[in-house]
Amino acid sequence: MAGKDLKDLLIHQLKDTYYAENAILKALPKLAEAAKADELKGAFGLHVPETQKHVEHLKQVFKLVGERAEGTEFPAIEGIISEGEEAMQEFGGSSALAAALIGSAQAVEHYEIVRYGTMLAWAKQLGLGEVEALLNETLVEEENTDEILSELAEDSINAQAA
């Protein structure tokens, strides 16, 4: 234990995030299916190939740090996704469904944003330039998705739900 260092922590977090991205990839089609609003359906649909790219980025990062790409089951993302599914059920058929879906999707995005942000700082500290660049590219896209969802909510979805 005492011999563990920041690189071990980065690998620990990579496995968490790899698991999370794959869990999100499974959850996205359900979100897209539940979304009635075309714009929201589109936003969720668009995030599928992006998430696939993020998984590829992680595979490259695993290679760069000399580790096999593998996920470890972590409870946080499962909890966040299951809360989303629960809200989908509770607000299904109501005017607030789309707002609930956006809220759930943004909780997922923020989980990714914080994880990538932390890993990015660790990669920087470790002088892993290529890893840093890959993680940063993903982080920027996650932040962008979060921004798109906020705009969608504030421009139309929340008003329709009120």
The residues binding a copy of itself (CB under 8 A) are: 1-9, 12-13, 16, 74-80, 82-83, 87, 90-96, 99-100, 102-103, 106-107, 109-111, 113-115, 117-118, 121-122, 125-126, 150, 153-154, 158-159, 161-162
Report the residue number, 55 or 107, with the smaller CB distance to a copy of itself: 107
Amino acid at 92: G
- Give 41 or 110: the residue with its C-beta nearer to a copy of itself: 110
Gap between the Cα atoms of 22 and 35, Å rounded: 21
User: Any idea of the CA torsion for 79, 81, 83, 89, to the nearest 10 degrees?
Assistant: -150
CB of 48 to a copy of itself, least distance (A): 21
The contacts of residue 39 (CB under 8 Å, 6+ apart) are: 152, 156
Closest CA to 18 of 81, 86, 75, 73: 73
Report in angstroms how near the CB of residue 52 gets to a copy of itself at its nearest. Answer: 23
Quote the tokens at residue 96.
Answer: 């607030």
Nearer to a copy of itself, 114 or 133 (CB): 114
Residue 47 CB, shortest distance to a copy of itself, in Å, is 16
Please state the closest distance from residue 46 (CB atom) to a copy of itself, in A. Answer: 20
Tell me, what amino acid is at 97? L
